[in-house]
Structure 1
Amino acid sequence: MPLGALRATPLVEQATARLREQIVGEEWPVGTKLPGETSLAQLLGVGRSTVREALRALAGAGLVQARQGSGVFVIATKPKEDWSTQLRRAAVADVYEVRMVMEVEAAQLAALRRTEEDLTAMKSALAGRRSALSGSNAEFVDADIALHAAVVASAHNPVLTALFAEFVPALRQGLIDLVELLDLRTKEPDHSEAGHAALVDAIAEGDPEAAGRTLREELRRTLTQLQAP
């Protein structure tokens, strides 16, 4: 992607984003020496002070490093996580720990108490989740929550159902953050379709141990990804 003059403010943010695109897109691979401040300023149509601030931001992200007397070099094409991203990961991990306590128990109870109407609702929600794979992040998350809500409802415990309803807003935001943080659209195109189908099958078969284990393993796998350095 060729560099070009930038629009109006905020120039530092724009310059940082444009240079980051070059690095992340590997237009400038690791080991590449960046053009000098004067050259970059001319290419971007900004002042040298703006370029200097942009390079400082990229260095903070772990993408470039200034070497005394030699210039600025690309040292990575993937930025290290900033503090806000780490906090988002931690928040989603907290949500998943609560899910594990609440939903695993609900799945086990559902396997013992589900009715034919419950099974119909769960299978319909599973199909809806599958259809939402091609939708937006929000559409998919809403479909995923609908399936889990159907599982919780099948436990036929009004307190558990009410707790889950109160938990949904935090769960929804957590799931949207999860998709973005782990880049699941790229890494897991089916978004654990097999695991969710296995969960519904275990509940349909009246096997609480399998239902609890299936959901616990699914949530634990995601939690491990979130907690990975």
Structure 2
Amino acid sequence: MSLGALRPSPLVEQATTHLREQITSGEWAVGTKLPGETTLAKALGVGRSTVREALRALAGAGLVQARQGSGVFVIATTPKEDWSARLRQAAITDVYEVRMLLEVEAAQLAAQRRTEDDITALHAALAGRRAAANAGDTEFVEADIALHRAVVAAAHNPVLTNLFTEFVPVLQHRLLDLVELLGLRSDDPDPGDAGHTDLVNAVVRGDAEAAGRTLRDELRQTLALLHSL
């Protein structure tokens, strides 16, 4: 095995890269049992802890799997794509349909669970969105997403919050394209203000049905625009 000793730092990243290359190049085929940690550490010129972390990274990428009492085996030669990468490659209409499912439920939960701090945050986010009407498209889109983030946060469900966070980079990029391509702010620098005001008011007064309906209507309008491109 000719892996070659590594330079001092960052050792884990280098070890991961070297081992991944052995797998993706076909040097270690699917079903192959990897050499033991001690052997790998000696070949790479690093400690066993570094090898252990590298193997964890490879397992996270779906390339290897540890089998108790047997060792570590190659289970794939192509790394699996992470969720963020899949979102970036997905059609924006598909992303928006999933966003609708996620956010409508979040809005309904927010109306049931919002706290005084959440109410303050929602009013601040709405004010921020209105203030951004005097700014450029990038700032306005960021303020719009910040309001939606505040609604999701008020649901107090960390899984929903984390999922929405994953959507944000894709949404921000695609919504900016939408605003610019269709000139959505050419006549009204603050499009959707009435709907967003209704959304915030519904959450604040604890009307889950109205909150879900208002957000669903808004997202459906945007989805229709996306289908028109």
Smaller-chain TM-score bracket: 0.5 to 0.7
Offset at 1:187? 4.5
Q: 2:164 aligns to what?
A: 164
Equivalence map 1:189-228=2 (5 Å): 189-228=189-228
Q: In structure 2, what is the Cα distance between the partners aligned to 1:108 and 1:204?
A: 11
**Does residue 105 of the first structure (1) align with residue 105 of the second (2)?**
yes
Give per-residue Cα distances to partners, 1:44-67, cap 9 Å, x unaligned.
xxxxxxxxxxxxxxxxxxxxxxxx
In the TM superposition, what is the alpha-carbon distance from 1:184 to its structure 2 partner? 0.5
Aligned to 2:138: 138
SS at match of 1:186: coil
Q: How many matched pairs?
A: 140
Q: CA 1:181–1:96 in structure 2 vs 1: closer, same or farther (change >3 Å)?
A: farther
SS in 1 for 2:186: helix
* CA separation of 1:188 and 1:91: change in aligned 2, threshold 3 A: farther
Cα separation, 2, equivalents of 1:95 and 1:180? 19
Give identity over the alignment, percent. Answer: 66
Give the aligned partner of residue 13 of structure 1: none
Q: Is the 8 A contact 1:108 1:209 kept in 2?
A: yes
- Structure 2: 5+ residue runs without aligned partners? 1-89
Root-mean-square deviation (Å): 1.5
Shift of 1:134: 1.3
Unaligned runs of 5+ in 1: 1-89
Contact 1:141 1:175 in 2 (8 A): yes
Rounded to whole Å, the distance in 2 between the matches of 1:128 and 1:94 is 28
CA contact (8 A) 1:133 1:190 kept: yes
Counterpart-to-counterpart distance in 1, 2:140 and 2:225 = 20
1:182–1:226 CA contact under 8 A, matched in 2: no
Alpha-carbon distance between aligned partners in 2 of 1:133 and 1:209, rounded to the nearest angstrom: 29
- What does the per-residue CA deviation read over 1:2-21, in whole Å, with 9 as the maximum and x for residues that have no partner? xxxxxxxxxxxxxxxxxxxx
Instruction: Report the CA distance shift for 1:223/1:191 in structure 2 as closer, same or farther (over 3 A).
Output: same
CA distance in 2, matches of 1:94, 1:123: 30
Counterpart of 1:148 in structure 2 is 148
Residue 181 (structure 2) aligns with: 181
Q: Is the 8 A contact 2:134 2:189 kept in 1?
A: no
**Cα 1:98–1:182, aligned 2, differ >3 Å: closer, same or farther?**
farther
**How far apart, CA to CA, are the structure 1 residues paired with 2:112 and 2:205?**
9
Return the alpha-carbon distance in structure 2 between the equivalents of residues 171 and 225 of structure 1.
14
Structure 2 distance, partners of 1:182, 1:99, is: 21
Contact 1:138 1:176 in 2 (8 A): yes
Which residue does the alignment assign to 2:114?
114
Query: 2: distance between equivalents of 1:123 and 1:145?
Result: 14
